[in-house]
Structure 1
Amino acid sequence: MKSRFNKYSKYVFASGFAAVSLSCSNTKFLKEGQMLYTGGTVKIENDSLSKKDKNELQAALEENLVPKPNSKILGLRPKLYFYNIAKEPKKDKGFNYWLKYKVGEKPVLLGDVDREFNRKIIENYSENKGYFNAKATYDTVSKNKKAQVIYTLRPGARYLVNHVKFQQDSTLINREIQTFTDKTLLKPGKPFDLDVIKNERERIDNGLKERGFYYFSPDNIIVQADSTVSKKHEVELNVKLKEDTPDLATEQFSIDKVIVFPNYNIQDVKRGKYSVPMNQDSLSKYAYDDIYVIDPKHKFKPKIFDRALYFKKGDLYNRTNHNLTLNRLISLGVFKFVKNEFIVSDSLGHRFDAYYLLTPRQIQSLRLEALGRTNSANYAGSELNLNWTHRNFFKGAEQFKASIYGAFDFQMGGQEDAQNLFRAGSTVQLSIPRIVAPFRFNSSSAFVPRTNINLGFEFQNRTQYYTLNTFSASFGYLWKENARKEHDLKVIDITLVSPSKVTDLYKSKSEKSDAMQRVVEKQLIFGPTYSYTYTNTMLSKPTTIYYKGTLDLAGNITGLVTGANVEKGKERKIFGIPFSQYAKIENDFRLYHKFTEKTSIATRLIAGVAYPYGNSEFIPFSKQFFSGGSNSIRAFRARTLGPGSFDPRKIEQGTLLDQSGDIKLELNAEYRANIYKFLNVAVFADAGNVWLINEDQQRPGAKFSKEFLSEVAVGAGVGLRLDFSILILRLDLAMPLRVPYYEKGDRWAFDRINFGDSQWRKDNLVLNIAIGYPF
């Protein structure tokens, strides 16, 4: 180790010297009299403020200072350096232009800083936070052509809210406001804060929108502040309507007629083909319960709008039902554009008509796809898909999808004897926009619940080994509580795997492996499955999460009724095939955190267990867990890791195609950074493994035990991602850091790393080529 340190120490020192040189070299490009701006800081002089309040105020003020200094990485400014060394390009293209203006960053000079403007920002922000007597000054500190601006703030005492008054009068709108003043955000004893006042105005507006005041606006509310009522740095707030509030904003509206145009086309409007029936006689023939559906060609069943629309005749307008209706119409999947208009029909009675102008999508589509593909088993190849979609199959927004496909896959970087794969099959799905069940399902969600019926068949041929026919069918429900929470319940999910050909070569290789023999056994799997998904990754927050939990119960009721117990010789069959009985649960938790717009970290934890019992001694191969590959532990080739500390080197090459397990633990972490537009890089680390529930004499060390932590594999690497929006091409180069099948106590592989050895590189560097991010 000492010799290795001496070997590389000169490079470490050279890198450090280069870093220091880089940090100093930027100033030499400055012209006479120019100074590089290194940033502004705010000092707060107030002994009465707590340390926490000082820190919060300081951080907020510094965030508001403009401009921002040149970006830094590890204390250096490489982007500024690239800008300085690049020649001025003659054209807006070419290498020099790319290096200077795309990779590089123009220097921010002291002359670019309006210090007086920043001083006013500091005072104004402080006053908005209740420091009414705030005064700020600034000073400039310069050295070696670098300058920093120091702002000093003397905020004085912070004013607190003494009393909150909601002015009362006899108007209807005022009486409505008084009913929810108990939930006001303005609290006596709290600091005066302009942002809180703005939020209070929004709160009042939201409350009134729920009570029929469609034309009201937050700008119609004024909050008056009086700081003369007390000598103790207190302020009294008076909340009231502005005197110039329009009369229309103070009126409470209800729904008169609800009119739907399901074949609305803006081009027809421009051509004068579109007209709105305005009288009751012309509307009456389109009536359906309390709504009117203007559909002369009867392309849609009126019932689908009755389910989707929340407004009925006589209902008081409220924003919640307004938004729910629009979202449900969109989630039907049959309309490309959804437009809503409210037109006053009776100003004296304070009523308006609700119009829904719906532009249908193309009802039928036929699409042929030819594509290159990769999967988690490191297979790459080509696939041809023919897809037909009908978005209004029974005129009730039912979506019918049918597809046929064929694919040929070959393994890249995998096992030598893995053999190639040929797959062909067909799937059909009918998705009905409601819950079809003998029970009543009420949903106030903005998303239409769906009943899904799926049928599928796949022919799979692993060349020179075997051919499998897989039949699948499912019936279930998919519904969302909101944009974050989704439920997927398959009441029945059936899979039948039937081998039609097993070669002598495969039989000879599997003679000593029960696991390989189970791959080509007939498998009948049926039972309910349920998955729950929660995500807020669509929000613009620095930290977001994703969670998916799946529960798979197979053959449980059937096994209980028939008294199945394979351990006691009571194996039960259906159509001559033993049915599988097990319970399986899997959890996938992900956390994403953004440091900046261009840098982030993503982490994932997978934990799952499948337990066979009753009619099954083993989990079906297709339902087991696997580890390794481009979306898992990337330092190990696909499906070659585990189970446990089992050593695959002790068996004949190709004897086991896939290593599977009943228990899975996996942890991944990845730091991501954008370098230039579509070019992204990553540094990652993966850890995990799979284990068996029961002992396997043919695979010693495979069973899960209390020593499982010592059998966790660890890998790390770097990645390059080409993000072309419609396609993300990912290249990950990984190497193992901890190998579970090495001798216990010698499983860390740091001392074996030798990039200069070609054989080591061949055995340990694994290149993963994939489409999309791993998680």
Structure 2
Amino acid sequence: MIKRITYLLLVTALLSACSTTKYLPKGEKLYTGGTVKVADKDIKKADAKAISAELKTLIRPQPNAKLLGLRIKLWLYYKTKARKGFIQKFLSKYGEPPVFVSQVNLEKNSSIMQSRLQNESYFQSTVLGDTIGKPKTARAEFTVAAGPAYTIRNVAFPMATDNSLDTAVRGTMKQTLLKVGDKYNLDVIKSERIRIDARLKEEGFFFFAPEQLIIKVDSTIINHQVDLIVSIKPTTSERAREIYTIRNIYVYPNYSLRDTTLKLDQAVPYRWYNLIDPRKSVRPFIFANTVLLHPNDTYSRTTHNNSLNRFINLGPYQYVKNRFEDVTPDSPKLDVYYFLTPYKRKSLQLELLGRTTSASYTGSQINLNWKNRNAFKGGELFAVTLFASTDVQVGGQNGGFNVFQYGIQPSVSWPRIIGPFNLKGDNAYIPRTTLTLNYTSVVRSKLYSLNSFSGSFGYQFKTSPHKLNELNLLEITYVKPRNVSQLYTDSINNPNNRNPALKHVIDPQFTWGPSYAYTYDNTTEDYRTNSIFYRGKLSLSNNIYGLLTGADTLAGKDKKFLGTTFNQYAKLETELRFFHKLGVGSKIAARVLVGLGLPYGNSTILPYNQQFFIGGPNSLRGFRARSLGPGTVDASSLNGGFIADQSGDIKLEANLEYRTRLFSIVYGALFADAGNVWNAKTHQAGGTFGPNFLSQMAVDAGFGLRFDATVLVLRTDLGFPLITPYTNSNGSRSVPLNFNNAILNIAIGYPF
């Protein structure tokens, strides 16, 4: 590590010695950037600072980029200018030509800044530019005299009259962006015109446009105030003043560019829309969830856009083109046309993947995906996936025990609700019904092999861009061991140091019940200072059946279903993520995970595939994956030959991370993690959840790098364990802070 740091310092010193100014042409100076100084003493310091920061972004051209104070791109430009060798030609792509001070047009920059100030209430502003030079470099300095800011005294809208357009515009007044007392701002005025137009589009003014609104400004008012008068341009056409309703709706589900006629004589009516589909490619009901406009409805842009989104999300269609036609000169009506271009109905795809898992396994997977879009002519997607994978654990406690998996997963997705429920809505999202089946064979070399069968039937529906609901009426999982090696059996039965977790892995598992999950996510909206992600899920297994049969394993009343002992439990999972922007390129990220599983009746512990795990690159990064818990159990002290992944019925975890951009695509992070898992009932000594759970939390901290190329994020985290849930050899839970105890995590994507 010391050698690497020394090498980096030597390279930095070498680059800094290679000055780029010695290559400048005679009479030229290197441009080093511009500054903006607000000279008006009547401007508040906060306003002056904001003006200076904003105007600085307008200065053109930008100076040569720096990295750690060095103009490396400029240095590369000069060093590779001849482009003689292969390496020079390659590096020349990253070079950047010099920016000279002679390229800076002071007058043009000043004019642009002055226009911006006038658009933001400083009508009397002036900007003067000058250059300040050194022997080989120079910078630009702009001095701003902003003058007084003009504020809004009064806003006037058209009076309500017999004219429906004047009345409609006045009806938008309560939501106006133009507030009395605010500073005049041209961008806000433009936004106000767009806002009014958007509202008018909801009330049927199909042909109206923002440009047909005029907002007059009277700046002759005393005390640096303005009056704003909102009105409709006299040149606005009669068509733009009319409220339009819908007449006929036509859907073309098999459209191509070769189609040049509307074929209205072949239209087949179905409920409120007409289908033009000579090839009978779909059943007419397929669009009942997508055509949201109805005959005689007043045109609404929201309903129009929601219909388009639903057509796109339906599944079978690659392109959707929409057209409205003004059809009745004597009364304002529109005919609506939807032209749909389908995907190829059947497709076959081969995927070769590299992957890492939460247990620090690294390996490869091959998937063969077959899809049949519009399988039953109702927009259904029928898919079958064949898969096989191999994984090797890197940095875990089970090196050498590789995992092989293969299986098949068929599924059907319907773009509607199938069943007794009638979920209606007019938003942009189509509810879906999904049926999924899965068979997986898991082979852990030298240890055991399992057969896993699972299936689910349920619904997915969004109520807003941020809210997703997932209701599975039935989830079934059946896992049964196929082969168990003598090595694994001996590890379970080792009388010197028993590990109950080993047997739990290969116990037959049969779960059967519903689940519901709710997700709220606004983290995709980059403009937010604070954003959150929340997901909660409730799962049940054999609750009613277990109660009816009187299952009580503690009383010796084990019950079976179809000859197999079933699992009975209730399980709650919650995850909350919070993100706070500190500035450009930096943020605070926090996460809290709480998982609670309550086995009862026919079970004393959750089935292995439903338990919680902790530790690893996406969890507590100072500890090996799945190596912690339950409670104060020290897995490393269980010398049964093979160490099982540690798990529990209850999980608490918290993560805190500071992220900041260092340069280019490289981001740095400082993090701290805490958490553990426990059993809900006595199952393993020291592993049961109790009132002293906080004293059993593991804690770590560390730092890392993220290489964020947008489409792919490569992450490296170096985590240092600080506190363990168990006491170590010296009787303490504290861990010395040194590199010998550190865990290096390499993963794809952010931890949360």
Q: TM-score, normalised by structure 2?
A: 0.89
**Structure 1: any 5+ residue segments left out of the alignment?**
1-6, 754-759
Q: 1:227-279: CA deviations, max 9, x gaps? A: 12x2221111111122332333222222111011100011x23xxxx42135x
Are residues 45 and 383 of structure 1, via their aligned partners in 2, closer, same or farther at CA, if it must alter by over 3 Å? closer
Question: 2:482 aligned with 1:500, yes or no?
Answer: yes
2:366 counterpart of 1:384: yes
**Residues 713 and 10 of structure 1, relative CA distance in 2, 3 Å threshold:** closer
C-alpha contact 2:501 2:644 (8 A) present in aligned 1: no
Matched, 1:25 2:19: yes
Instruction: Output the CA distance in 2 between the equivalents of 1:109 and 1:528.
Output: 69
1:738: which partner in 2? 722
**Pairing 1:654-669 to 2, within 5 Å after superposition:** 654-661=641-648, 662-667=650-655, 669=657
- In structure 1, the residue matched to 2:299 is 317
How many angstroms apart in 2 are the aligned matches of 1:215 and 1:381?
A: 58
Distance across 2 between alignment mates of 1:383 and 1:324: 38
2:55 matched residue in structure 1: 61
Q: Distance in 1 between matches of 2:8 and 2:417?
A: 68
Separation of aligned partners in 2, 1:673 and 1:653: 46
Alignment partners' CA distance in 1, 2:633 and 2:483: 30
Matches within 5 A, 1:8-23: 15=9, 22=16
Structure 2 residue runs without a partner (length 5+): none
Corresponding position of 2:236: 245
- Residue equivalent to 2:636: 649
Matched residue, 1:757:
none
Alignment deviations for residues 139-158 of structure 1 (CA, whole Å, 9 cap, x no partner): 43334534333322222221
What is the CA–CA distance in structure 2 between the aligned matches of 1:568 and 1:73, rounded to whole Å? 71
Deviates most, 9-18 or 576-585: 9-18
Secondary structure of the corresponding residue to residue 227 of structure 2: strand
- Give the secondary structure class of the aligned counterpart of 1:95: helix
Counterpart secondary structure, 2:440: strand
Change (3 A) 1:105 1:565: farther
Aligned to 1:3: none
Residue pair 1:686, 1:715 contacting (<8 A) in 2 also: yes
Partner of 1:286: 268
1:194 is aligned to: 186
Equivalent residue of 2:318, what SS? strand
Is 2:113 the partner of 1:126? Answer: no
Structure-2 residue corresponding to 1:453: 435
Q: 1:745 to 1:122 in 2, by over 3 A?
A: farther
The answer to whether the 8 Å contact 1:643/1:689 transfers is no
TM-score (norm 1): 0.86
Indicate if the aligned counterparts of 1:510 and 1:655 stay in contact, CA closer than 8 A: no
Contact 1:29 1:84 in 2 (8 A): no
Mark the CA change 1:497 to 1:450 in structure 2 (over 3 Å): closer, same or farther: same
For this pair of structures, how many residues does the alignment match? 740
Moved more, 16-25 or 335-344: 16-25
* Paired residue type of 1:367: Q
For residue 640 of structure 1, the aligned residue among 618, 624, 627 is 627
Quick one: distance in 1 between partners of 2:344 and 2:614?
Answer: 42
Structure-2 change in CA distance of 1:546 and 1:28 (3 Å): farther
**Alignment CA distance shift 1:11-1:535 (3 Å):** closer
AA partner of residue 222 (structure 1): I
Q: Secondary structure at 2:375's aligned position in 1?
A: coil
The structure 1 residue matched to 2:97, chosen from 106, 125, 128, is 106
Q: Which residue identity is paired with 2:624?
A: R
1:160 paired residue number: 151
Structure 1 residues 85 and 545: alpha-carbon distance in aligned structure 2, compared to 1, 3 A threshold? farther
Separation in structure 1 between the aligned mates of residue 366 and residue 643 of structure 2, nearest angstrom: 30
Per-residue deviation at 1:359?
Answer: 0.5
* Native 8 Å contact 2:83 2:92 kept in 1: no
* Aligned positions of 1:174-185 closer than 5 A: 174-185=166-177
CA gap 1:557/1:77 in 2 versus in 1, 3 angstroms? farther
- 5 Å matches for 1:485-564? 485-511=467-493, 512-541=498-527, 545-562=532-549, 564=551
Please name the residue that 2:424 is paired with: 442
Counterpart-to-counterpart distance in 2, 1:70 and 1:704: 61
1:415–1:654 Cα contact (<8 Å) kept: no
- Give the secondary-structure state (helix, strand or coil) at the position aligned to 1:346: coil
Counterpart-to-counterpart distance in 1, 2:7 and 2:275? 78
Which letter does structure 2 place at the counterpart of 1:356?
Answer: Y
Distance (whole Å) between structure 2 residues aligned to residue 10 and residue 464 of structure 1: 41
Fraction of identical pairs, as percent: 32
SS of the counterpart of 2:464? coil
Query: Residue 80 of structure 2 aligns with which residue?
Result: 87
Amino acid at match of 1:665: E
User: In structure 2, do the counterparts of structure 1 residues 368 and 139 end up closer, same or farther at CA, with 3 Å as the change threshold?
Assistant: closer
Q: Map of 1:742-753 to 2, 5 A cutoff? A: 742=728, 747-750=734-737, 752-753=738-739
Q: Is the 8 A contact 1:138 1:149 kept in 2?
A: yes
For residue 650 of structure 1, what is the amino acid of its counterpart?
S
Alpha-carbon separation, structure 2, partners of 1:10 and 1:303: 67
2:367 alignment partner, SS class: strand
Structure 1 stretch 19-28 or stretch 292-301: which is displaced more?
19-28
Q: Cα–Cα, structure 1 residues 44 and 312, in superposed 2: closer, same or farther, change >3 Å?
A: same
Label 1:619 to 1:24 Cα distance change in 2 as closer, same or farther (>3 A).
Answer: same
Contact 1:642 1:689 in 2 (8 A): no
Structure 1 partner of 2:282: 300
Instruction: Decide whether the 8 Å contact of 1:484 with 1:534 is kept in 2.
Output: yes
